[in-house]
Every structure is written in C-alpha cells, then in structure tokens.
Amino acid sequence: MRNRLQILFLLFILAILCFYVSMQLSPNFMKWMRICVSLSAIFIAIFIFFENRDPSRTLAWLVVLVVFPVIGFFFYLFFGQSYRKKRRYHQNFFSNMNLHYAQTRSDIQSNVDGNFKNAHYEKVLRLSSKLSPASAFIYTESRILTNGEETFASILNALEQAKHHIHLAYYIVRNDRLGNELKEILIRKAKERVRIRFLYDAVGSMKLNRGYVRELQENGVHILPFSPIRLFDLGSPNYRNHRKIIVVDGQIGFVGGLNIGDEYLGRVKHFGFWRDTHVMLDGLAIRNLQMIFLQDWIFTSKEPLLDETIYFQTEKRKTDGLIQVIAGGPDTKQKEIKHIFLSMISSARKSIYIASPYFIPDEDVYSALKIAALGGVDVKILFPFYPDKKFVFYASRSYFSELLQAGVRIFQYTRGFMHSKFIIVDGKIASIGTANMDMRSFHLNFEINVFLYFSSSVHHLEEVFMDDLVESTELTLSELEKRTLKERILESFCRLFSPLL
C-alpha cells in the first residue's frame, strides 16, 4: 500500500515537473497543461484497472477522473484506496478470546436445534454463522427503542447504574446539551472508579472540540479518536467507524442509529422530529457486542487487557428467540451484513419491510428486491421525504423507478427526518443496527447490526414500521414520472457516483 502510494505521488510530481518545464520551453501553455492533466488521469486509471474492483466502482472512479482529472487524482488518493487490512490486535487478548468463542459457538447447534424449528429461515442463521465468528444466543432479552427520548432515557439510566465499566463507541459526538449531559455522567462515574473507554470517529466527530475531550481525559475517562486522518495514511478519511455501541458492566448493551447530539432528540429546528430506532440488549448476546467494541478499542489504543475475562461475565436472561450481533467492515474478506441481507431477502415468502435514510443498493441487493416483488412478495421501503444529504437523496431516487415498476412500494416519511435502519422479513426475522441499505455501509464503513430470529422484538419492530407508514406518503410511479427535467438530470448525475457514496 505505502509503495503504491509513493509511486502515485512520484508519477504526479513527474507530471507537474513536465508541466513546469513545458511552460519554460514552450509558449503553448494550454497544450502542455492538457497533456499533464491527461497523464495524471491515465496513471490513476491504470492503477484502478489492475486492482480488479467491482466493475461499477471501477467505472465510477474512471468517470471521476474524466470529469475532474486533477481534482479526481487527489480525491482518489484520499477516498479511493483499498483499506489496508492490517489491523493489529493484542495477541494474548485474541488467543483468550478464541477460547471464549469456541465455548460460545458450541452452543449454536443446540440453539438452532432447540429453538429454531423453521428450516426455511434456518439458512439465514447458518449463513451468518459461517460469515461471522459471532454466535447466535438464546438467554437474551431485547427491547426496541423508537425515538431519541426513549433511547437516551434508557441509556443514561443504564450509565448511572454502572459499577465496573462503561464502553462507548460513536460515529458522531457533539458538544451540545445532550453531549454535555453524557459528559457529566461519565465524569461522575469515573470518579466512582468505573472504568470508562470512549471511542469516537475522527471524521464523524471532527467538530467535537478539544476542550470536551480534554475535560473527559482530565477526569479519568479514557477517550480516543478512531482512525485520525494522517498525511501518510491517505485512505483513512473514507473508512469510518459508523458503529454506535454502549456496553455497561458486560450486562446491558445498546446498538442502533442514534448518535450523541441534540438533533437526535428533535431539538434542532432544521430536522424537526427525528425518527430513529435503537435496540437494548440484556443477556448473553452482550458478549459479541463486547468483543466488537474491544477489537476496535485495542486496534486504536494498543492497550493490553490484563484480565479480559472480567468483561464477559454476562448473565443469562429469559429466552426470547435467537439474537446475533454481527460486525461488518472493510477489513474483512466477506461482506457479512450485505450477504445476510441478501439471504433474508431471498428467504422471504410474504413480506420484506425496509427502513433506510440512504438507499443506494448495489446490483445484488437491487436485483434481489425486484425479483422478490415480481414474485409476489410484499416489499415496502420507508425513506425520508426531507433529505439531509441532497446528493445522496437524488442518487437514491434514481433507483425508485425500476423498483416501482417491479411492484415495490415506496413510502416517504413526512413527520420529520427518518433515520431508522432495519429490515424485517415475514414478521419472523429482522435486523436492526447502524448499516444503511447503501454501498458505503456494505463496502466502506465499519458497521454493527443485531439480527433477531423469532423474537418478540421482531413483532414490535413490525408494528413500529406500520405506525411509520401512517406518518408517510406513498410514492407512486405516476407521481415519480412528473418530476422535472432538472430533477431527472440530477438523479442521473448523482447515480454515476453511487458506488462511491
């Protein structure tokens, strides 16, 4: 990776030198400028070609280079590099954690045989078990949280009860009213000798000021940025930790779409009511949540955990179906979350309900949804009426026409901004977490999702989805065809970059 970047820089510098020399030797300025710009684009194009990427991503980068030759060069350096799969973890930690996994994974066969009677959906669990080392657990309770007030009331209450440790990982943390309320609790618990580890994404939380971080550090909270941007690590801006994780004492956990900020409580006028979904876990499945957090923490901090077993003393709770916590990211060979989504979609007999604020599926998921709808499955997609990112919004809308023609029904949430991320199949299995139905979540970001199999939370989530539809307007094909020429052009233009979004 480093050698390849050095070669790219040398080639670019060579092109600049040629440009400078040509200016000195020839008055034909524009001619030589075009030559140098073309050389830069060709150098990058050759590298992209030999990376053997997905064809759509290759073509998208080539479009960027053709349209923006010079800017595209730097854009590729920062956002186009393949992730360096060199995450180094503490070896003692992983050797011991392998023992934990060996023990917990031995439960999966009995879990399936004793609690998963429906062979039709069993293939989803079998696939997820092969793609991820995370076991599917019984003895775990789950609770769906459907807005910021309910979610943060539960989170702050759980933090207040902490006795041993608090682990947090967030994509966005803001220094606002909610952020300061969280900070005060963490400082108070740190003074009570509760061990606190706080991981925030360096890009998602780039507006978080140093004073906020310094105050936490000075009061005993261990807080670190995930993958800060460095000059010689040019791929880092594009591969972000989009996970939202809280683990309290290894017993209570939270995962979902809500970051730390006042907008998630509906306090920001621009967004208004913020519709989001989180899930609270209590029981054995917390072990997987804990493991995922500690992997990220050790990668970032290089901190050796001298007695890691104390973080996995999770107690059994009342059985409520099977629950599996799975992480996805660019550092793995398999696209775990995407492949499980595909398996869920292909297993559907009656219904597929999807909520996602950003809908940019790759060709596999796009085709699977159309095939399901054409086959008579009730496919409904919940999408925001009011966008927060217009470029992504128009790219998403470019997919709607073919979906509607195939029989997919699309609903746009109008009460406020819809940020939920979940999928429900046949009212039997569901996934809720941080992954959007888009290529960034599938291929670029570090994500985490909770998969629910025959849990009462699946039924609750389905009820929540139906309630959301009441607050939405259905987008019909005839209405979509009334959009202006300007909107069509914007959609088509943004669609070109969809593999990069």
Q: How far is CA 63 from the centre of its chain?
A: 26
- 109-132 burial, b at 16+ Cβ within 10 Å, e below that, comes to eebbeeebeeeebeebbebbbebb
Q: Is 113 a catalytic residue?
A: no
- State how far the Cα of 127 lies from the Cα of 131, in Å rounded to an integer: 6
What angle, rounded to 10 degrees, do the helices at 107-115 and 91-105 form? 30
Please say whether the beta carbons of 80 and 53 come within 8 A: no
Smallest Cα–Cα separation from 457: which of 490, 493, 431? Answer: 431
Q: Catalytic: which of 90, 244, 338, 339?
A: 244
Q: Catalytic: which of 90, 242, 428, 443?
A: 242
Q: Catalytic: which of 339, 419, 428, 443?
A: 419
- State how far the Cα of 408 lies from the Cα of 247, in Å rounded to an integer: 38
Q: Which contacts of 439-442 are long-range, i.e. CB under 8 A and separated by 24 or more positions?
A: 439/360, 439/361, 439/362, 439/498, 439/499, 439/500, 439/501, 440/358, 440/360, 440/501, 441/242, 441/328, 441/337, 442/328, 442/335, 442/337, 442/338, 442/362, 442/365
Q: Catalytic: which of 167, 278, 421, 428?
A: 421
Smallest Cα–Cα separation from 71: which of 40, 33, 108? Answer: 40
Q: Is 419 a catalytic residue?
A: yes
Q: Is 242 a catalytic residue?
A: yes
Coil, strand, or helix at residue 28? coil
Q: Is 201 a catalytic residue?
A: no
Coil, strand, or helix at residue 172? coil
The values of phi and psi at residue 236, to 5°, are -60, -35
**Where on the phi/psi map is residue 206: left (φ > 0), alpha (ψ -120 to 50), or beta?**
alpha
Q: Catalytic: which of 276, 426, 438, 468?
A: 426
Please state the length of the chain: 501
Q: Catalytic: which of 90, 183, 201, 249?
A: 249
Q: Is 282 a catalytic residue?
A: no
CA dihedral (146, 152, 156, 162) positive or negative: positive
Q: Is 421 a catalytic residue?
A: yes
Write out the catalytic residue numbers: 242, 244, 249, 419, 421, 426
